[in-house]
Amino acid sequence: MSRPTTVLLLPGQGSQRERMAAGLYGAHPQFTAAMDGFFDALDAHGAPEGQRDRPARHWLRPAPHPDLDDARIAQPLLLGVGHALGRAVAATVGPPGLLLGHSAGELAAAVLAGVFRAADLGRLAAARARVVGDDGRGGMLAVAAAEDELPAGLGPVTVAAVNGPRQTVLAGPSDALERARATLTAAGRTVLPLRSGHAFHSPSVSAMARRFTQEVTALRPAPARTPLVSCRTARPLRDSEAVDPAFWGDQIALPVRYWPALKSLLDASGTDPGLLLLDASPDRSLGAAARRHPAVRAGASHVLPLLAPAARTGGPADVEAFDRAMATVTTYAPPRSPARSGVGRRAGSRHDQV
């Protein structure tokens, strides 16, 4: 029987949590080195004088931390943490066989896949933060409904993401989004505001997408060296798309087709050879939809959270969750190359007291 394929699932805005994955910092050498390198690069490319170490301080600050809802803070941190988790996984059990990133997480996946150079991660994260302006202000709303179950006539509010069979995210200006919330609540729908002050993945941020395209042009993206399934298209990334700056820029304003992308993987490979879905989301949201798929319910594929539940992330429970996931991967798919976890010993972290 073929060994299952590991798939690294990387989150985007809305899933960020205070101290996400911070329990691995100082406990896992590769994760720690990746985060230190990321913060150094981000300082070099994006931090004004006198504001060095601010990203690390935002990351390590305990809840409540409302500033973490700001895309200029959340999205660079999601890129940095996602990339560091990918490096830690690769060092422990070998590189993932497939990468799948949600929204900003797709940029972290693109770095791990070689579309962008690892040395340019800080520059990419700084650019993503820099293009976020006052245009596109609004919000995002998760709705427990399939896309085709939503009522017509929601005005400028549009579908921003399809995250599960009956998990849809809407985005739009704040006043229109509030009217949509009232309409959906009155119809008996469960709705939940997401941690975002902008209407990402909607026409409201089209100007932002154009600015980011200009930034990406200077980074000269290359074809992926590791298979990456794009949530923009819900299919494997093509070389012509990978090298096109507009593909990455327009991603900001176009819907995230996460569930169609994940479902296509599970439909095709969920039973044979099976998939090991490494859920890197701090709120464990990326694996939630997969648990309902027949391949996972039958035990042919598995969802493996890399981090502790949101209420416990940021401490020793992260190490326990990561160790448990890596042990399971080793059981089902022995490492393809020698790896050293290093979890459980201090790694000379530089931000312990931040």
Express each pLDDT in 242-282 by its tens digit.
999 999 999 999 999 999 999 999 999 999 999 999 999 99
Report the pLDDT averaged over residues 69-83: 94
> Does residue 333 surpass a pLDDT of 90?
no
Report the pLDDT averaged over residues 55-67: 91
> Does residue 347 surpass a pLDDT of 60?
no
Report the pLDDT averaged over residues 23-33: 97
Res. 339 pLDDT band, cuts 50 70 90: very low
pLDDT of res. 146: 96
Please report which residue ranges of 218-334 form alpha helices under DSSP H: 239-242, 245-250, 258-269, 285-288, 294-297, 316-332
pLDDT of res. 341: 40
Residues 97-130 as b or e (16 or more Cβ within 10 Å = b): bbbbbbbbbbbbbbbbbbbbeeebbbbbbbbbbe
Which distant-in-sequence residues (6+ apart) come within 8 Å of 30 by Cβ?
Answer: 84, 87, 88, 90, 91, 92, 342
Q: How far is CA 54 from CA 57, 61, 206, 235, in A?
A: 5, 10, 28, 37
* Residue type, position 201, single letter: H
> Please, what is the average pLDDT of the chain?
91
Asked if the peptide bond before residue 64 counts as cis, ω within 30 degrees of 0, the response is: yes
pLDDT of res. 155: 84
> Does residue 346 surpass a pLDDT of 50?
no
Res. 53 pLDDT band, cuts 50 70 90: low
Asked if the peptide bond before residue 273 counts as cis, ω within 30 degrees of 0, the response is: yes
Return the structure tokens found at 237.
Answer: 């990334």
pLDDT of res. 310: 87
Express each pLDDT in 129-174 by its tens digit.
999 988 889 999 999 999 999 998 898 999 999 999 999 999 999 9
The 3-state DSSP class for residue 267 equals helix
> Does residue 82 surpass a pLDDT of 70?
yes
pLDDT of res. 198: 94
> Does residue 349 surpass a pLDDT of 60?
no
Task: Report the length, in residues, of the chain.
Answer: 354
> Does residue 220 surpass a pLDDT of 80?
yes
Looking at per-residue pLDDT, the higher value among 42 and 101 belongs to 101
